[in-house]
């Protein structure tokens, strides 16, 4: 038996559905174990289908939430780029204010030497 934390291969679930469909055609099926009665098996199958449906819906919600988060991350980042430009325009590229937001002052860059 496979671990119950790992997904079953789809082919196994297809085989199980085949068996259940065939079982419904057996008129005198009467198991000793009442947990394996046709009614309980059909209820288990429906519970599985409902859980799979919920999974698909929640996965869609998760993808939509991720898209929303990505969109707002980009909006925030674009705003911060605008802030950097605004501080540079207002205070200058050599200002302490520009440096205080994590930018390098223009005078801190090495100048290129003259070509020989």
pLDDT of residue 53: 97
Which of 116, 98, 115 lies closest to 107, judged by CA?
98
* Structural domain boundaries in the chain: 10-106
DSSP designation for 103: P
Q: What are 10-36's pLDDT values in tens digits?
A: 999 999 999 999 999 999 999 999 999
**Site of tokens 């520009």:** 98
Q: What are 58-103's pLDDT values in tens digits?
A: 999 999 999 999 999 999 999 999 999 999 999 999 999 999 999 9
* Cβ partners under 8 Å of residue 81, min gap 6: none
pLDDT of residue 4: 84
pLDDT bracket for residue 111 (50, 70, 90): confident
- Cβ neighbourhood burial of 98 (10 Å; 0-12, 13-18, 19+): buried
DSSP designation for 93: T
Cα 74 to chain centroid distance, Å, stands at: 18
Alpha helix positions (H), the chain:
10-23, 38-91, 96-100
pLDDT bracket for residue 2 (50, 70, 90): low
């Amino acid at each position: 038996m496979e671990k119950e934390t790992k997904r079953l291969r789809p082919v196994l679930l297809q085989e199980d559905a085949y068996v259940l469909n065939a079982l419904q055609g057996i008129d005198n099926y009467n198991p000793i174990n009442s947990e394996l009665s046709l009614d309980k098996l059909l209820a288990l199958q429906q519970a599985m289908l409902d859980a799979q449906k919920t999974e698909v819906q929640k996965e869609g919600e998760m993808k939509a939430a991720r898209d929303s988060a990505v969109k707002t991350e980009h909006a925030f980042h674009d705003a911060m780029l605008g802030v950097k430009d605004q501080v540079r325009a207002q205070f200058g590229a050599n200002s302490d204010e520009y440096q205080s937001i994590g930018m390098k002052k223009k005078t801190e860059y090495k100048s290129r030497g003259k070509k020989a």
